[in-house]
Structure 1
């Protein structure tokens, strides 16, 4: 009974997290149709599943390594291809992440710190968004928390085995979202070097072994793909040279830092201004900034007030936070607000560790002042973020926070049974309400954003495109078409779906369409493979015009569905050449308002 009572707060936290992340989950439908189509393909073909192809016939892969697609594809095989089978795995990853973060922080700073850390993670709006969505970020964050937990265990005992497991988790993080997984490596290395109770020689040996584990866990799939002849596997999406290494180091690697992602569209200034305040600004603030300034305060104050084990934890989570925050703040390439979910575990862990460390020394004026100041900063930050949504809630949070801050400063006379609950409510009410609003809002498309629907978003809660990125126009003189955009999939009508399904078994692909989201919408609706010409942005050299012509000559593609104007200033023009060739040689008919070209019949003069 005593043991059950001790576990009750954690059980309540995990149950509440599950409710928040699973509530009305199916309302988002396919969510990111790009990855849903890849999961559908993986459920139909093991080859497509292994490579992370966007269609069952394996013409091209997603522009990431496929670990997240593996999870969704297996779920779709077991439970059928539907919104729940694709989205539930991410929600369960969120619950597991909260539990693992609690366990990691508890080992260094105690149960209370672990509960605060887990609660902050669960109620961070970016987390409530991405653990209800099917982008790779959910799996990435879970794997990085796993790596941190293993690093904590390794640091406690000077264990090379636990450190190697941390390396395995980071390696599989690479298979989820490539080089972003490596942002936590400096923190893992530093905490082990500084705090592990073993000799320097053994630390170096253990770190070398962990590095080897990262390479093996993340590199085996890359090696397997590179060893398969190019004509026996799909094109690597996002790569101009059909290479995973080029994708990892270029488009998804250094290009994200420099802004030189070959094949990208809308780059340069299209991804927002850089600077130290980027994470606090209007684009990212509502996703992650609620307790970010407070975490910085508690990182410094907690280091002063904490015990040796607290400091080891703060070194780990502080390194995670600082490295990731600096990269996100100053990278010039593609970045979206939801990337900030990677900061949420560190913010939660630092908040829990620092707050509990200061509370233990609350009778000391400096500690009381630091704890009071940290809460006042949180209340002010939440007030500012809530103002453009709910003025009443903003004022409530500010008043509660300031009152609780005074109570914390006078903790020797103020009753803890009153002050502590009010302080927790003041700190968590803002992000909690924003997270509930996020869960209540269906999200779709490639760039979801947390929070309630406001002006500047579409009805699905998806932030609108930067100027110049909406490519829904027709091609040439074709009839008007109802299409998706670069970042949103179309919803075809019944007549078009029936057309795609009819005689689909006689062709490798029922159709081809420019852009992965376009192809994904038609494929998900019909259940038959559709070639994504040009990959995600329409700027990949896959297929080339010559290969496409050969496919048509062999009768492998039945229809070509409209076209899509691309705005990229780099990458391949193969998609444009294919569209021009189709328009010149085939006659369009209109089906559900969309221009459809039958590639099995030559156009008549």
Structure 2
């Protein structure tokens, strides 16, 4: 904060930054392997420049991850400096989260003042999904920071009328494309409109600069994908999750249209367990296999989703489709090896592996039986809402999807304030006695953040496939619009006429609607607290409606307590639980897990690992398996190359059967690990699996397994399996004798 030419420290803002550092960083030393898919890639990227450049998933550089590697570069650098640890791969996300809070403050203060800037920083800090994302090695926290940086540079470019800053801001969006591809382009409408209405230069120059900015965007967007795609395919890794071994195809396919339409790579079928475009869609899937059977015996057209349990990894990431055969076990306590069970089972009223029963405090209904149905665990063992901890819990598509408990419990806490802030900002900062189209400087920023908010809100309202934690993309716009609304109300309250009354109405409406929505999210966990806060909110709202200037500080404090209590507590849960999940989410259910969260793959069989290491010989690969999540734990643990022939989903056409045979014949591959439910999925992968089963020699080994999240050893036979699930013990095939 600058005062009379000197900089003065804003103590409140410093406190907010300290709070964000605590929420995002505390307990990351218990991160384990976080998202083991990306941790395996980071492990591989530290081993060679080629792996680093391409974002190779395995040390041999056979296949890449399903995103460009820019965000992973930061994580790999951290791992190279500090070693590959859970906290070292998570650290860049922590720093990105704190930096996003800083940028929110810097973006709001210049036009709206210090207090709105503080509000924006605080809202960003205490948004549950922001906390959860900033504590894991997924790419979203870094993406959001980089997008905010692009907007910050654009704001500076407009103020200084500097073409180089304009070019830089759009170049940064191009770089952001190489973090999560088309997701970065969601803010382009906002940037383009803001540039056009805000920069004060002659229109011919404005057009010329705009063309230059678009060119800058195109260059930095396409430079990396074109460079990769232009390399001979035999001289680089296969592009993971693409069907044509192309980064550009990945951008517009798996990471583009398929996100909107909800399709599954390689088949065009829906991802299992989604149920998002129609009520009940996708339910009842067992195994998620194409032409598999539902719980009611009907056939499905689903596709196996990342985790066919090859490699013996009992991949049960607490609500993801991985290894859970499409089931959603959300909000439950974490049991053995990352699996979920009721809290009462965790406290002695049940044991891992037992079926839920009335005695264990868990009620079972038809809607709770295994097979893809959604099971929401509660602290009291009862069914209800609460959201969180589920990879595919994204509610029903429609204009109010983000208000539903699945997504709302992660991002929706301040939605009413943001919407009211948008209205208040457009009205409150209007120029006096001016035409409606004469936009004030403050209204320009309102349009900027509305341009961020509306397209992203629209995408999440209609998209067929995304994970709940993707909604972090809305957090900056919600924080900014809420802060702008506060600034507008403060301005209206100081003016004459009816404007102070309008300000009081907006405050009252904002408090009541926001607390009512928050109570809806929290009701199944804390009904009494929810009732108390609703009462406090209503009384405070009535108090605001009265034109009294006395006890203003008390009213403000009651308003803050009403609005921030539940959201603040939700945001605190990942920190208290030391959670660093592959599917990051905030929820009180995390408090019964205490360190680990939703693992996604990462589990290994120690005897299988020891056997293959001992007998690997001169083979290039330790072994091959069907999918990346089955391989990730072995790569992290051993640092050796494990081939995931089908990539993340087990469906990538990485090689033909003849190419696979040649790999075996040349001695580069001796072993193949296959889970009991690794079924043929069509195409070359199906032929490879069939050939391995028919020609490989089965190897016997012990069943001791290790969870890389906590390092504990368990027996696979003791792993809790929901009723109806197949055993996920791995079969090891020796292929070395086939061509002898």
CA distance in structure 2 between the aligned counterparts of 1:216 and 1:295, rounded to whole angstroms:
35
Structure 1 residues 40-70: Cα deviation after superposition (integer angstroms, max 9, x where no partner): 1001121111111101111111111111211
Could you tell me which of 130, 140, 143 is aligned with 2:143? 140
Instruction: Kindly provide the CA deviation profile for residues 372-417 of structure 1, in whole angstroms up to 9, marking residues without a partner as x.
Output: 2112211111111111121233234323333332343346424332
Instruction: Give 1:107's aligned residue.
Output: 110
1:175 is aligned to 178
1:20 is aligned to 2:20: no
- Further displaced range: 412-421 or 82-91: 412-421
Once the 2 structures are TM-superposed, how far is the Cα of residue 282 of structure 1 from its aligned partner? 2.4
CA contact (8 A) 1:361 1:368 kept: no
Whole-Å Cα distance in 1 between the matches of residues 581 and 676 of structure 2? 17
Match for residue 434 of structure 1? Answer: 570
In the superposition, relative to structure 1, how do residues 566 and 157 fare at CA in structure 2: closer, same or farther (>3 Å)?
Answer: farther
Pair 1:539-2:656 in alignment:
no
Distance 1:567 1:124, change over 3 A: farther
Alignment partner, residue 43 of structure 1: 46
Unaligned runs of 5+ in 1: 463-486
Alignment-derived partner of residue 227 in structure 1? 230
Q: 1:76 Cα deviation (Å)? A: 1.0
Structure 2 equivalent of residue 358 of structure 1: 489
Find the residue that maps to 2:586 and give its secondary structure: coil
Residue aligning to 1:501: 613
The question of whether the paired residues in 2 share the 8 Å contact of 1:498 and 1:526 is answered with no
Task: Supply the distance in 1 between the matched residues of 2:468 and 2:478 (Cα, whole angstroms).
Answer: 16
Q: 2:586 aligned to 450, 464, 468, which one?
A: 450
> Could you tell me how far apart the structure 2 residues matched to 1:203 and 1:601 are?
70
Structure 1: distance between partners of 2:580 and 2:234 = 34
Kindly state the Cα deviation for residue 459 of structure 1 after the two structures are TM-superposed: 9.3
Partner residue in 2 for 1:126: 129
Q: Is the 8 A contact 1:53 1:59 kept in 2?
A: yes
Cα distance change, pair 490–76 in 1 and its aligned pair in 2 (3 A): closer
Instruction: Give me the whole-angstrom Cα distance separating, in 2, the residues matched to 1:567 and 1:410.
Output: 68
Indicate how the Cα distance of structure 1 residues 559 and 369 shifts in structure 2: closer, same or farther if over 3 A, else same. Answer: same
**Which structure carries more helix by proportion?**
1
Please, which of 238, 255, 274 is the counterpart of residue 270 of structure 1?
A: 274
Q: Do the aligned residues in 1 keep the contact of 2:425 with 2:488 (CA within 8 Å)?
A: yes
- Partner residue, 1:33: 36
Is residue 237 of structure 1 aligned with residue 240 of structure 2? Answer: yes
Which deviates the most, 167-176 or 393-402? Answer: 393-402
Q: Among residues 339, 345, 370, which one is paired with 2:470 in the alignment? A: 339
1:319 matched to 2:451: yes
1:561 to 663, 673, 685: 673
Cα shift at 1:288: 0.4
Match of 2:298 in 1: none
**CA offsets 1:447-487 (integer angstroms, 9 cap, x no match):** 3332122799999543xxxxxxxxxxxxxxxxxxxxxxxx8
1:358-507 equivalences under 5 Å are 358-363=489-494, 364-410=500-546, 412-441=548-577, 443=579, 446-453=582-589, 461-462=597-598, 488-502=600-614, 504=616, 506-507=618-619
Structure 2: any 5+ residue segments left out of the alignment? Answer: 277-395, 431-439, 495-499, 704-729
SS in 2 for 1:492: strand
Q: Distance in 1 between matches of 2:595 and 2:104?
A: 34
| Per-residue deviation, 1:278 | 1.0
Contact kept? 2:128, 2:585, Cα under 8 Å: no
1:302-338: CA deviation from partner (whole Å, max 9, x where unpaired): 2101262321211111110111000111112x21111
Map of 2:629 onto structure 1: 517
Which stretch of the first structure deviates more once superposed, 286-295 or 388-397? 388-397
| CA positional deviation for 1:85 | 0.8
| 1:125-178 Cα distance to aligned partner (Å, 9 max, x none) | 110111111111111111111112122222323332222222122111101100
Deviation at 1:591, TM superposition (A): 2.6
The one-character-per-residue Cα deviations of 1:520-543 (angstroms, maximum 9, x if unpaired) are: 022112221111110000000013
How do residues 75-94 of structure 1 correspond to structure 2 at under 5 angstroms?
75-94=78-97
Q: Distance in 1 between matches of 2:600 and 2:581?
A: 5
Instruction: For residue 503 of structure 1, report the CA deviation from its aligned partner.
Output: 5.7
3-state SS of paired residue (1:129)? helix
- Aligned equivalents of 1:77, 1:314: Cα separation in 2: 42
CA separation of 1:540 and 1:99: change in aligned 2, threshold 3 A: same
| 8 Å contact from structure 2 (residues 403, 412) kept in 1 | yes
User: Deviation per CA, 1:508-556, whole angstroms, max 9, x where unpaired?
Assistant: 2111111110010221122211111100000000133222211111111
Q: Distance in 1 between matches of 2:137 and 2:410?
A: 17
Q: What residue in structure 2 maps to residue 585 of structure 1?
A: 695
- Which residue of structure 2 lines up, in the alignment, with residue 200 of structure 1? 203
**How far apart, in 2, do the equivalents of 1:248 and 1:510 lie?**
31
1:574 pairs with 2:676: no
Q: CA RMSD in A?
A: 2.5
Secondary structure, aligned partner of 1:453: helix
Counterpart check, 1:74 vs 2:184: no
In structure 1, C-alpha distance between the alignment counterparts of 2:695 and 2:156, rounded to whole Å: 65
Counterpart pick for 1:294 among 417, 422, 429: 417
Decide whether the 8 Å contact of 1:54 with 1:61 is kept in 2: yes
Distance 1:407 1:302, change over 3 A: farther
Please report the TM-score for the alignment, with normalisation by the length of structure 1. Answer: 0.90
Quick check: 2:676–2:731 contact (8 Å CA) kept in 1?
Answer: no
In structure 2, the CA distance between the partners of 1:384 and 1:414, relative to structure 1 (3 Å rule), is farther
Q: 1:176/1:506 Cα in 2 relative to 1: closer, same or farther (>3 Å)? A: same
Please state whether the residue corresponding to 2:647 is helix, strand or coil. coil
Q: TM-score, normalised by structure 2?
A: 0.74
